[in-house]
Each structure stands twice: as structure tokens, then as C-alpha cells.
Amino acid sequence: MDRHQNTHELPSWLWLWGVLLMLIGIYAARWYSPVFFGRHMETEQGAIENIVVVFLVPAIVLSILLVKNRELLPSRKLAIWYGLMGMASLFFAGEEISWGQHWFGWETPEEIAALNDQEETNLHNMSSWLDQKPRLIVELGAIIGGVLYPLYRYFRRQKFASDSWQYYFWPTWVCFPVCLVIGVIKIPDRLFGGQNIPFPFNMRVSEIQEVYVALAFLIYLLSVWMRISKARKAGL
């Protein structure tokens, strides 16, 4: 990976230290007060689920800006990709808060409750095709596109021209830490089972993974927008 290409991207406090300190903070909060963590952070209306939405809202805005400024992209197909990212972010955010039910507390219609595992106004609890399978696709995408491929590019010293579609499509080094967390955070749970993991690490790691998926969307789109803005200022 050419680190010079990331010089004008994002500050390290966001893509590196922010990623690490947030993870440390989550585990520290559970260690310090399991009762507080369970009551105010891990619930459906808790801080963790709301943080997901906080990250996804600017990601949606960035996807709109990228589509709106598609003439600056080397390929119009990239605008389709960023548009899909925006729709995925909107769906993700809506499902996370059950499209407002967690905030406003309305009753789930009987027809939906009968189909929903948790009797909520959302789709992901109705089918694995809208929950586990998309989650697995995103996780694999983070590992391959955000961890393995950047490492491959780094050791092969592979560079993309700044006017190529690959330069704007593939995640750069700034996505590596957040994608690494997405890829490894569920490994202990899968190997040993949640009940066999020592305190304070024995928590609902799928919820933590969702936070980092949302943050990965934001960092990726913000990284692209910063490069687009730099190219526009340079008159490219």
C-alpha cells in the first residue's frame, strides 16, 4: 500500500486512535459497571445502537454528495456503487432503530409481529436473508477489501493512478483498523462460545461489530470524499 496516497485523507485520531479508543472504552465501561452497561449501553434503546445511527447519518449524506458530484469521478459506475452504499446505510440505520419504533415506542402491527422474531417493526428479524447473510457478506467484504487487499497492495507496492476507478473504489490504509476489528471481534465467540469467554469480554459482540460496520461505512465514504475534494481543488 502506498501510504503517501493517504497523506491528504483523514486525520489519525479518526481512523486509528478513535477506532482503538472506542473499543477500549466499550470494554472498560462494561468492566467498571456491568449494571450500567447492560441498562444504558446494550439495550435496544442504548448508546451502542444509537451510535450506529450517529455514524450512518453522515455516511448517507456523503453518499448523496458523491452521487451528486459524479462528474468528478473517473467512472459513472462508481456513482452507482456509492449510491448503493448510501441505500445500504439507510436500510442499516432504519433497521437498527426499527424505523423509529425504538425512539417513539409505537406498537408493532399484529401482522408484522407475527412474522418478526422479536415482534418489532423491522425486516432483519424476519429472515436470515435480511440479517445473518448480509452481515456475513459485509464481514467478508471488510476482511477481504479492508484488511487482506490493503496488505497485499502494501507488500506488492501496488499503486493506483489518481484518475483510475480503482483509486476511488478500493479501501485505502485508513480503513484497515476498523475493518480489522470487524473481522476479528467475533472470532473468540465463534471458537469458544459466548458463555466461555471471561468477563468483561463476554458481551453481545454482534452489537459491537455493527458499530464498527457503521464506522467503516463512514470512514470509507469520507476517505473517498476527501480524495474527490482534493482532486477538484487541484483541477484534475
- 58-87, pLDDT tens digit by residue? 999 999 999 999 999 999 999 999 999 999
pLDDT at 39: 87
Q: What is the DSSP letter of 109?
A: P
Distance, CA of 149 to CA of 71 (rounded, Å):
27
Taken in order 131, 134, 140, 143, the sign of the CA dihedral is negative
Please tell me the pTM assigned to this model.
0.91
**Confidence class of residue 7 from pLDDT cuts 50, 70 and 90?**
low
What confidence score (pLDDT) does residue 235 get? 64
Q: 4: pLDDT confidence band, cut at 50, 70 and 90? A: very low
217: Cα within 13 Å, side-chain hemisphere: 32
Over range 200-221, report the average pLDDT. 93
| CB-side neighbour CA atoms (13 Å) of 73 | 21
Helix segments in 41-175, DSSP class H: 47-68, 76-96, 101-104, 110-113, 132-143, 149-156, 165-169
> Residues 12-36: pLDDT tens digits?
999 999 999 999 999 999 999 999 9
Q: What share of the chain is helix, strand, coil (3-state, %, to 5)?
A: 75, 0, 25
| pLDDT band, residue 45 (cuts 50/70/90) | confident
Confidence label for 101 from pLDDT (cuts 50, 70 and 90): confident
Query: Is residue 129's pLDDT more than 90?
Result: no
Average pLDDT taken over every residue of the chain: 89
Query: What's the confidence (pLDDT) of residue 5?
Result: 47
Residue 8 is predicted with a pLDDT of 53
